[in-house]
Amino acid sequence: MIRSSTRDRELYDREMGAAKAAASTEERWFHLERAHIVSQPYPWLHTRNHASMLYLAARQRDRREAVGQLLRVIVAAPGSLTGRYPPGNTGRAAVGLMDPMAIPADLLAELSD
């Protein structure tokens, strides 16, 4: 099992906590997306992040997002284990499953330390 670094785990936990405490749905998605970027190399965190996204999509009754997240819950751990994940991808259903994206500068700085 691939274990997350302490720094990455703290960053992931911070973003997931911010998502949980968010006042609006948009803010919640923002933090879940950031947590997703951090979680991609780690099978358990990556899968857990997509499960949280699935839960939020279901609460919003967003069928398209929920179906996309269900697929991502299934492929998250294998993708992390094999290194087949697109860096910077935010994990939403509207984004291609394998489309790399720019990592926000503040996250990149924290991940690079």
Q: What is the pTM of this model?
A: 0.94
Residue 4 token pair = 């997350």
Residue 41 lies in a domain: yes
Q: Which residues contact 43 (CB under 8 A, 6 or more apart)?
A: 1, 2, 76, 77, 78, 80, 81
Please report whether residue 1 resides in a domain.
Answer: no
Residue 99 lies in a domain: yes
The CA dihedral of 47, 48, 49, 53, to the nearest 10 degrees, is 100
In a domain, 72, yes or no: yes
Both tokens of 71, joined, read 């697929």
How many independent structural domains does the chain possess?
1
Cβ–Cβ < 8 Å for 35, 89: no
Tens digits of pLDDT across the chain (113 residues):
566 788 999 999 999 999 999 999 999 999 999 999 999 999 999 999 999 999 999 999 999 999 999 999 999 999 999 999 999 999 999 999 999 999 999 999 998 66
Residue range(s) defining the domain that contains residue 13: 6-109
Q: Report pLDDT for 2.
A: 64
